[in-house]
Chain A
Amino acid sequence: MGNVKLEHMTKRYDDVTAVDDMNLDIKDGEFVTFVGPSGCGKSTTMETIAGLTKPTEGTISISGRDVTNLPPKDRGISMVFQNIALFPHMDVFDNISFGLRLRKYDDEEIQRRVDRAADIVQLENMQDRMPE
């Protein structure tokens, strides 16, 4: 966990300004919700914090570290998507362990964590099933 800080963050697509000079300071442990009509820049803000898009201007820092130019994988963040984003070509185990495998955890650790996660969502006996 850490503070998230946006400073003068602006995102422009061609001629549309999606987010205009946004300043935001989220304290550690704070629960923040963005509400607004569609097209007002909620998703764009989320995407810039996650690193999926780069802001046109301004800086983003997480725990005091400037992450504006870091790719998402180096920001230490997680994101739950609006649409289910299961990888259709991987079974349940591979889907759950995708991030762990990318971060080069050893096999036993991956198995242990996947088992725990699968247990929580009651998928323990379906780890080799494919998403439908």
Chain B
Amino acid sequence: MSLEQTDGQKVYTNDDDSEEPEIDRGLFEAWAAKTIKNPKRTYKALFYTATIFFLVTTLFPFYWLFMVALTPRRNLQDVGLVPSGFDPSLLAQGDLTMGTNPGVFLEVFTIIPFHRYMFNSFVIATVTTIVVIIVASLAGYVFGRLRFPGKGPLMLLVLIVSFFPPAAFFIPLNDLFNTNIDILRPILADGSLYNTPYAMVVPFSAIFMPLSIFILTTFYSQIPDGLEDAARIEGTTRLGALFRVIMPLSAPGVATAGVLTFIAVYNEFFFSFLMTDGSADNWAPIVDGILQYQGQYEVLFNVMAAASIVGVLPVAILVVVAQEKIVSGLTAGALKE
């Protein structure tokens, strides 16, 4: 309070004397004056502050996971910013691990068949993504490029469906998937979808479809009509034009929808956890695998952490690769009619 008052007074006297002021400024005021003179510096500083903030908040959990994973099991009750028991001086004694436990990343696969869980998740996510992209492409084509009565209400309906919480679908679906259906008997062991990948692919496709429909509708509506007409004159059907011309030209949009769907399915917990009995042979995804490390008397937090990291890596790599594609598609896709 007193600081503000003295500041005010100083400004006042300067105006009054109307001479070049030689104010003695506080630290903060000096900084403010500098930034007014050179705003680019401030923007840069703000940019770095924000970047570092978001980097820390996103990457710290991974760092923490990594630390927990590396902590030897006997030290698990005492996890710090470095793995408990970490001692660089051990390196001199020939202990390359320096008191940590990198072997945990192998344990992940020896305690349970974690690779099988990863494979299951991968298959479920891939199949769902393919189904979603194909069906959402058809819907996106219709919503984005055709004019027909009732288009608005129909899109609204799609939007409304996406507002339902997935949990609302669970009980009826679980009931349905546990019913033995005779027609399915030749394909599925006991004629029910429970404990099969279909029990997850079907609801996931439905739940994540609306988002992809909206993304693809926007992209497909921007492709000039002339290109589609030309393709149809040259000898494709409407469907052929969609897959040969419209989809390739909307590659960034298709990639975005695909990546978002893939990640969402790969991360999904609720249906993944409840639609199988949790064993790897019954198509249980990664979530179930990680929970398998929780025994009756002991929870292997370090192995769980290691498994989480192992599970995230393939998707992280995939997203980085796909992102490059998305960006290159965005910059190279300059359309001209």
- Is A85's CB under 8 angstroms from B336's CB? no
| Residue B248 interfacial (CB < 8 Å) | yes
Which residues of chain B have C-beta atoms less than 8 A from A50's C-beta? Answer: 229, 233
Interface residues of A in 60-99 (CB under 8 A from B): 71-73, 77-79, 81-85, 87-89, 98-99
| Residue A1 interfacial (CB < 8 Å) | no
Interface pick from B65-73, B108-116, B235-243? B235-243
Alpha-carbon separation in the docked complex, A102 to B38 (Å): 61
- Is A73's CB under 8 angstroms from B249's CB? no
- Is B237's CB under 8 angstroms from A83's CB? no
- Is A87's CB under 8 angstroms from B245's CB? yes
Which residues of chain B have C-beta atoms less than 8 A from A88's C-beta? Answer: 249, 333-336
- Is B249's CB under 8 angstroms from A89's CB? yes
- Is A81's CB under 8 angstroms from B232's CB? no
- Is B232's CB under 8 angstroms from A85's CB? no
Alpha-carbon separation in the docked complex, A83 to B333 (Å): 18
- Against A, the Cβ 8 Å flags (1 = close, 0 = not) of B182-215 are 0000000000000000000000000000000000
Give B residues with C-beta under 8 Å from A: 224, 226-227, 229-238, 240, 245, 248-249, 251, 333-337
Which residues of chain A have C-beta atoms less than 8 A from B334's C-beta? Answer: 88
Which residues of chain A have C-beta atoms less than 8 A from B335's C-beta? Answer: 88
- Is A85's CB under 8 angstroms from B226's CB? yes
Interface residues of A in 27-48 (CB under 8 A from B): 47
Alpha-carbon separation in the docked complex, A72 to B228 (Å): 12
Q: Which residue of A lies closest to B334 (CB)?
A: A88
| Residue A52 interfacial (CB < 8 Å) | yes
- Is A87's CB under 8 angstroms from B233's CB? no
CB distance from B170 to the nearest CB of A (A): 42
- Is A102's CB under 8 angstroms from B230's CB? no
- Is A78's CB under 8 angstroms from B235's CB? no
- Known A88-B334, A132-B336; further 5 A-B contacts with Cβ < 8 A: A47-B229, A51-B232, A85-B227, A85-B229, A89-B248
Pairs A–B under 8 Å by Cβ, sample size 21: A50-B233, A52-B232, A52-B233, A71-B232, A72-B233, A73-B233, A73-B236, A78-B233, A79-B233, A84-B336, A85-B226, A85-B229, A85-B337, A87-B249, A88-B335, A89-B249, A89-B251, A98-B234, A102-B240, A103-B235, A131-B336
- Is A72's CB under 8 angstroms from B337's CB? no
- Is A81's CB under 8 angstroms from B249's CB? no
Alpha-carbon separation in the docked complex, A94 to B233 (Å): 16
- Most chain B CB atoms below 10 A, which of A77, A81, A131: A81
- Is B235's CB under 8 angstroms from A77's CB? no
- Is B337's CB under 8 angstroms from A102's CB? no
CB distance from B326 to the nearest CB of A (A): 15
- Is A102's CB under 8 angstroms from B235's CB? yes
- Is B234's CB under 8 angstroms from A83's CB? no
- Is A85's CB under 8 angstroms from B230's CB? yes
CB distance from A10 to the nearest CB of B (A): 19
CB distance from A57 to the nearest CB of B (A): 19
Q: Which residue of B lies closest to A81 (CB)?
A: B226
- Is B229's CB under 8 angstroms from A73's CB? no
Alpha-carbon separation in the docked complex, A89 to B252 (Å): 13
- Is B236's CB under 8 angstroms from A84's CB? no
Which residues of chain B have C-beta atoms less than 8 A from A98's C-beta? Answer: 231, 234
- Against B, the Cβ 8 Å flags (1 = close, 0 = not) of A111-132 are 0000000000000000000011
Which residues of chain A have C-beta atoms less than 8 A from B251's C-beta? Answer: 89
Alpha-carbon separation in the docked complex, A20 to B229 (Å): 23
Q: Which residue of A lies closest to B230 (CB)?
A: A85
Q: A81-B230, A84-B337 are in contact. Are A73 and B245 (CB under 8 A)?
A: no
Which residues of chain A have C-beta atoms less than 8 A from B235's C-beta? Answer: 73, 99, 102-103
Q: A87-B227, A88-B249, A89-B249 are in contact. Are A102 and B233 (CB under 8 A)?
A: no
